[in-house]
Chains A and B, each alone.
Chain A
Amino acid sequence: MKGLLLLSGGFDSPVAASLLQKKGVEVIAAHFSYEPFTDDGPEQKARKLCEQLNIKKLIVVKAGESFADIARKCSHRFYYILGKRFMLRYSEKIAKQENCSFLITGDNLAQVSSQTLPNLTVIDQAASFQVIRPLLCYDKKEILKIAREIGTYDLSIGPEVCDCLGPKYPATQSILKVILDEEKKLNMEELMNKATSLEPAIVF
């Protein structure tokens, strides 16, 4: 079984990958780069995390322009939900190309605004692929403990700049209809085309 991990560079997604690897799942990764809003630091982090976790393939998606479009055109409080739905859609495309059976995320119930149950429900409906969330009910302390054990803690440490486009008070209780109305403000095909998977993928 092969799954595609959405690898951010933070603490959670590498731990999610490790837990599934221990169950015998082959994990490859996709990293969404926010350049030019950030430098290439998060991408470098993602590379190091893949090496540490023995993830053999990393696909880097340059998606800064697509995230900017969401920030410009949609209600700002839904930015994270819309951004995650976009990432799921794009990841599904990669997963099909890479013959993966499902997507993997480091989501952790109610840790941040996009990870409340109503928001996860709305996010999930952007993709037809099943989304596996091994950390859903973990405590953050448990996640950090595992991160130390698998050697990813020090690689993940450091400020995340990926939320620089996000709102101060994001929506925590979204409704699918409202989100679909927001997405009508975007040209989804253009949004998908603006993001580019760097070729070739990084193979370790």
Chain B
Amino acid sequence: MIVRLCGSKGAFEVLPEYQTRLDFNKLKREFKVVIETPQVLIIQDQFEVSCMKNGKLLIKKCINQVDAEQQAKKIYEVIRGQ
């Protein structure tokens, strides 16, 4: 996956390595939902994360890349059913 610091330097944007379609139902079963729309699901885990259907994640209020990678990995693992 590609992990890059956002311009604000207070969040990380994560792009999946392979084409991924996020199944929001799987995420909803596993994480606390903050807001849901058909296009974007915001969940609360270690960080608040905006999850987009195309697999892109925005991990907010996170300044450490390792933390961002761990959070993203956890979300993608739920999607892959691991």
Point out residues on A near B: beta carbons under 8 Å: 36-41, 44-45, 64-65, 68, 71-72, 76, 157-159, 161, 164-166
Contact = CB atoms under 8 A, between A and B. Distances in A.
Interface of B: 6-8, 10-11, 13, 34-35, 37-40, 42, 48, 50, 52, 56, 58, 60-61
B62 to A, nearest CB: 9
B7 A71 contact: no
B20 to A, nearest CB: 16
B58 A165 contact: no
Contacts of A38: 50, 58
A161 B56 CA distance: 11
A41 B6 contact: yes
If over half of B's interface residues share one DSSP class (helix, strand or loop), that class is named, otherwise mixed; here it is strand
Given A41-B6, A41-B7, A41-B10, A36 B34 contact: yes
Nearest to A65: B35
B42 A37 contact: yes
A38 B7 CA distance: 12
B35 A39 contact: no
A164 B39 contact: yes
Contacts, number: 63
Contacts of B50: 36-38, 161, 164
A39 B61 contact: yes
A185 to B, nearest CB: 14
Contact of B39 (A39, A44, A158, A165): A165
Contacts of B42: 36-37
- Nearest 5 A-B pairs (CB), nearest first? A41-B8, A158-B7, A39-B11, A71-B37, A39-B60
Contacts of A39: 6, 8, 10-11, 58, 60-61
A65 B42 CA distance: 12
Contacts of A157: 7
A172 B6 CA distance: 30
Given A36-B50, A39-B60, A71 B39 contact: yes
B67 to A, nearest CB: 15
A159 B13 contact: yes
A76 B58 contact: no
Given A164-B40, A164-B50, A164-B52, A40 B35 contact: no
A71 B10 contact: no
